[in-house]
Amino acid sequence: MKHNMKLNDEPFNQIKEGTKTIEMRLFDEKRQLLKENDLIEFTNRTTLETINVKIIKLHKFASFADLYNYFDKTSLGYREDEEANYRDMEKYYSKEEQEKYGVVGIEIQLI
């Protein structure tokens, strides 16, 4: 199955370059449809360019704090000189949403 998701310019380019291998999302109804080996077409919100990835594994967590503790920061899209902070995700998803649905780290491979 193929899914469609939008991404901001920086994470889109990091996936395209192969440095970001974990896409972080709320594990809401839309993401609960994801399965290993499915495809995702990411669309860059700025340029409308698209790339396709394959889902390697779904890593489910109760919170972004747990997810951040599990993965290294470069796989999440941070540079080595940046501080990785799970609170960065709160600008996209509220604490209430995280408590309701949980979160997922979507391990991906560019195809």
**Residue 10 CA neighbour count, 13 Å, CB half:** 4
Beta strand 39-44 with 2-7 is parallel
The 3-state DSSP class for residue 17 equals helix
pLDDT in tens, the chain (111 residues): 999 999 999 999 999 999 999 999 999 999 999 999 999 999 999 999 999 999 999 999 999 999 999 999 999 999 999 999 999 999 999 999 999 999 999 999 999
CA 48 to CA 59: how far, in whole Å? 28
Helix/strand/coil for 23: strand
CB 5 within 8 A of CB 86: no
Residue 36's contacts (CB-CB under 8 Å, 6 or more residues apart) are 55, 56, 57, 58
The superfamily (CATH) of domain 2-110 is Hypothetical protein. (2.30.130.30)
Q: What is the pTM of this model?
A: 0.95
Which distant-in-sequence residues (6+ apart) come within 8 Å of 60 by Cβ? Answer: 27, 102, 103, 104
